[in-house]
Structure 1
Amino acid sequence: MRVLFIGSRLFDDVYYYLKEKNVYSILTESNKDAPHLDLANEYHIVSRGMDEPYNIAVSENVDAVVPLIGIDPPLMDVAIFKEKLESEHNIPVIASATSVIDITSDKAKTKSFFNKHSIETPIYKIITKNNLDDSFTYPLVLKQGEGQGGKDIKICHDLDDIKQYLDEFDKAICEEFIEGSEVSVEVIGFNGEYVPLTPIYKGETTLDGVHPLNKIKYGPFESELITNDEIKEIAFKIAKNLSAEAICEIDFIFSPKNSKLYAIEVNSRPNGTRYLTTATCGISTLLKLVDMACGDFSTSKTANEIKNYYSCEIPIGNFNGTRPNEPIKSFKNNTYVVHGPEGYERITLRANSKKDLNNLISSLKLNK
């Protein structure tokens, strides 16, 4: 089995699994100084874009392609590449199609999609300098159609805040501020079938706009007002109506005030909650992409593999303790993994109970 992987940054999450499955890995990367290049059987430094990966996929006679791209801007190029390679050479690309990326890469289109399919989402409208009035209810949230990780999001408390934001941007999505719990669900999709994984708690919404990477997160999400099965049912509905493929992460806010779950956005790519998802339910979404490429994926088998652990992710800056065993990004031989760039590392831990999890945090001196 020969598989082409696009992008090296996340390759250390999967390389060890490729050896188990006897997969010959070919890696393309546009940055010659990128990490993990030497983990592949062979690699090629290419220009940005999909032209050279396309030619390599054909010339190397690969069986499948797995894009490992965790940022939004290249996703439409990848989707176009997918449709061309599949139609012209019948080589499967494990990623979502252009119709999906067109919706999920534009937050306004995503909101429209939610409304079309009767999925609860915060009330919103598009504003510009020319249609401002003073009829807003504060606080409110302004954001751009594109962006990830909290980029270009501002919480406004008065009209002056809005005007300042529109001095920088021509227009904005203006959305009601929902007070509640941020929840994410990863959904695996393949051939029109979907498996929503365990909902992850990502902290409470805040008026000071704390960056997601600076929050302590837990799995699974717990509430007396809504069950995880109810959340997974809505995530399933979103993924199925999108016809999403591979991985999508769906972000929600649950408001205890009115017991409503609001869909916020969909990310059609590997995402930052993947370690917590793996820790909590035992399913690595990136390894499932490899299974899809190898023709070994089954939604029913994946659903039956889901376990129930307790997990926590803590931002630590730099980890000074004992590093995890090889493979360092796997929970196979570890109770915790360390990930993220130097100075911004995070540790994700898992245990069989809350008590065991707290003891593990204490033993590593991570109490916060």
Structure 2
Amino acid sequence: MATMEHGHTDGTHTHVFLGSDHERNERRVWMVIALTTVMMVVEIAAGQWFGSMALTADGWHMSTHAGAMLISALAYLYARKHAHDPRFTFGTGKFGDLAGFASAVVLGVVALLIAWESALRFVSPVEIDFNQAIIVAVLGLIVNIVSALLLKDDHHHYGHHQGHHGDDDNHDHGHDSHAHRHDDHAHGSHAHHQSRDNNLRAAYLHVVADALTSVLAIVALILGKWNGWTFLDPAMGIVGGIIIARWSWSLLRSTGAVLVDAMPQQRPLLAKIRGAVETGNENITDLHVWQVGPGHHAAIVSLSTTGETSAAAYREKLLEIEELSHVTIEINAAA
């Protein structure tokens, strides 16, 4: 067995699989936490004083989202501080997904609580000071818009593609029992442009959820003032809770998939790997691919071949694939 390193001149290697904009994203999350904390105090106090459930809901959303974003910020900090810690054998790139999963749970709990509190207001309505409540709700929306702009990542795409693949997509068992010939362990050093930072996405969704409740609060308050439709105030809370719950579920699925190494959107990457190494004499007998950080993937490739191609040659082919940062190759002689 031979072990070969890639991209380091001193014969060592690290497992740093952080996103390309890690520090920038961390700074922006801290800025949004500060903005959100100030506004949440104002909205909760104003909502209680003026009797608006929609405004109170918006304030409590802000308070819980500020806590959830604190999880995101601390995850960025911890992952950066421990990026070179050898205890993390595949680096700290997944801390963002862990924080995103926790944030998704918080988001879901908040959605249920807001919907429940709004339902109670149908039973026990309260008098609302519409003019004052509208002013505070508009201020909250402005803060949410500024926060969303800070957290919006123009370089990455946050689509909701949740692929469910069968076992044939994740591995192709049937290891050849012939003599093991060569092992190659390599690290890529590509720039990862089309990565998804689920930690930033979680913080962004919390801010968007706040913005949604602000908009719904403003609509409910304006219509309530003009037409006397006070029932819209709690109704908007229920609508907002349902929408936020859907966002929570989407975030749970995407972060959970990364945490259990069940990569979404894995088919194109698998096709690239097979296309790079299966050129005639080779056959992939076992293939595992998983995400180790935003834009970083690891792969274990087991080949059966009748040729004499070295593992180093296969390594060079695989390192041309931008998404791969950590590659282990095993070659077995074909019958």
Higher relative contact order (CA 8 A, sep 6+): 2
The structure that is strand-richer by fraction is 1
TM-score, structure 2 normalization: 0.22
TM-score normalised by length of structure 1: 0.21
Give the structure with the larger helix fraction.
2
